[in-house]
């Protein structure tokens, strides 16, 4: 997919793409042999009912800011860019989650699911993999940006939607609702989880996969004056000013209980900041995390620092450069803690 930096629409001009960019990653096992009659991944039906040209045009156009491309639909609702580099970073994270979860796409004990929702699907890579894994299920991915590939499994579809607003799906509809890396995206998590509860079938499952943005260490190698403390404090503070928390990874279990879900299971994981661990699996994840952060911190933070924090671009770039410098040091044994939380909606009495 080409990056359209001059305001052209992006999602509907994918004919020139031989294959989705993420297919080149070693972890992908997507099937690109769907014939041309298979469903387009971009569901134009999701725009029906909005008669105004302006809505359609805002979805398909992008905004340029400090040399990075951002979504235009509900402009400012999400802090990250949606250009080619941003999409690659999202696919790096998908690979890291596969490594973390031993190649599993989910931990919830699903049994023959028929309706699956991926909230904030990003590049759509998880939804596409799930559609391949569960060919009898319909997998729906929603996102603010139409950056998903056009040719996808016939049982996978994408919709432009803001999941922080009222959901328009039927009640008691989904066997499985999947949420991953929506930190900094949801203004009211309790409202969001109540929506998720209402639209999950009785007996259906929800799973939330999130990680901290504040590095920590278990062995004292990250002293009290370490830059990682500054980094973590700044991100959390920017989220607070933005009105969308970055600490959901440690809150999700309690919040989904509050929404009514039961049988809550919490699995903890750690993403090293680089390849410092001696353990082979942890070292591999750490090296991917280092690559993801080295290439991704600008996308993660530039808009928050300048638009929310009021920083100058120059000050923000110095801050990002300091982070990249620290990411190269193996002396600090730091990591990002995270959680996979899944739970079930009770059966109707």
Residue 27 DSSP code? T
Residue 151 DSSP code? B
In the prediction, which pLDDT does 4 show? 34
Burial 147-175 (b: 16+ CB within 10 A, else e): bbbbbbbebbbbbbbbbbeebebeeebbb
pTM listed for this prediction: 0.80
Is 257 within a domain?
A: yes
CATH code for position 151: 3.40.50.150
Assigned token pair, 210: 């999130």
Kind of pairing, strands 138-143 and 115-119? parallel
Number of domains in the chain: 1
In the prediction, which pLDDT does 163 show? 85
Q: Is the pLDDT of residue 29 over 80?
A: no
249/299 Cα distance (integer angstroms): 20
Least confident range of 75-84, 112-121, 179-188? 75-84
Q: Where is pLDDT greater, at 20 or 219? A: 219
Cβ-based neighbour number of residue 112 at 10 Å: 8
Least confident range of 124-128, 224-228, 305-309? 305-309
Hey, is 117 helix, strand or coil?
Answer: strand
Q: Is the pLDDT of residue 37 over 70?
A: no
In the prediction, which pLDDT does 293 show? 93
Q: Is the pLDDT of residue 156 over 70?
A: yes
| Cβ(73)–Cβ(161) below 8 Å | no
Q: Is the pLDDT of residue 42 over 60?
A: no
Is 9 within a domain?
A: no
Q: Where is pLDDT greater, at 228 or 25? A: 228
Is 249 within a domain?
A: yes
Is 88 within a domain?
A: yes
Q: Is the pLDDT of residue 275 over 90?
A: yes
Is 254 within a domain?
A: yes
In the prediction, which pLDDT does 149 show? 85
Q: Is the pLDDT of residue 152 over 80?
A: yes
Is 240 within a domain?
A: yes
Q: Which residues 6+ apart lie within 8 Å of 119 measured at CB? A: 142, 163, 177, 178, 179, 182, 196
Q: Is the pLDDT of residue 265 over 90?
A: yes
**Nearest residue to 104 (alpha-carbon basis) of 283, 340, 345:** 340
Query: How many angstroms from the chain centroid is the CA of residue 246?
Result: 13
Is 270 within a domain?
A: yes
Q: Is the pLDDT of residue 267 over 60?
A: yes
Residue in this structure with the two tokens 């039927």, named with its chain if needed: 170
Q: How many residues does the chain have?
A: 349
Residue range 113-144, pLDDT digits in tens: 999 999 999 889 999 999 999 999 999 999 88
In the prediction, which pLDDT does 2 show? 35
292/91 Cα distance (integer angstroms): 9
In the prediction, which pLDDT does 70 show? 59
Domain that holds residue 161: 21-344
Is 99 within a domain?
A: yes
Q: Is the pLDDT of residue 49 over 50?
A: no
């Amino acid at each position: 997919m080409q990056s359209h930096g001059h305001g052209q629409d992006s999602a509907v001009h994918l004919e020139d793409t031989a294959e989705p960019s993420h297919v080149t990653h070693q972890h992908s096992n997507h099937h690109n042999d769907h014939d041309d009659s298979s469903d387009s991944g971009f569901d134009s039906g999701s725009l029906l009912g909005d008669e105004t040209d302006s809505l359609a045009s805002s979805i398909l156009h992008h905004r340029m800011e400090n040399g990075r491309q951002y979504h235009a639909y509900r402009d400012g609702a999400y802090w990250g860019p949606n250009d080619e580099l941003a999409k690659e970073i999202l696919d790096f994270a998908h690979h890291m989650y596969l490594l973390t979860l031993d190649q599993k796409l989910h931990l919830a004990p699903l049994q023959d699911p028929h309706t699956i929702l991926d909230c904030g699907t990003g590049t759509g890579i998880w939804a596409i993999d799930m559609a391949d894994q569960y060919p009898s299920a319909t997998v729906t991915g929603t996102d603010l940006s139409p950056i998903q590939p056009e040719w996808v499994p016939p049982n996978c579809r994408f919709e432009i939607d803001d999941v922080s607003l009222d959901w328009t799906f039927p009640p008691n509809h989904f066997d499985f609702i999947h949420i991953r890396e929506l930190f900094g995206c949801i203004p009211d998590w309790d409202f969001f989880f109540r929506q998720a509860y209402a639209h999950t079938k009785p007996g259906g499952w929800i799973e939330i996969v999130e990680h901290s943005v504040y590095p920590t260490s278990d062995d004292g190698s990250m002293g009290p004056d370490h830059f990682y403390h500054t980094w973590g404090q700044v991100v959390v503070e920017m989220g607070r000013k933005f009105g969308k928390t970055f600490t959901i990874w440690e809150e999700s279990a309690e919040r989904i209980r509050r929404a009514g879900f039961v049988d809550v299971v919490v699995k903890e994981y750690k993403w090293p900041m680089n390849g410092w661990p001696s353990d082979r699996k942890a070292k591999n994840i750490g090296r991917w995390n280092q690559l993801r952060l080295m290439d991704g911190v600008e996308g993660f933070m530039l808009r928050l620092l300048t638009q929310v924090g009021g920083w100058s671009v120059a000050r923000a770039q110095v801050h990002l450069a300091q982070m990249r410098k620290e990411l190269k040091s193996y002396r600090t044994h730091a990591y990002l803690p995270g959680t996979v939380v899944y739970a079930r909606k009770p059966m109707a009495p």
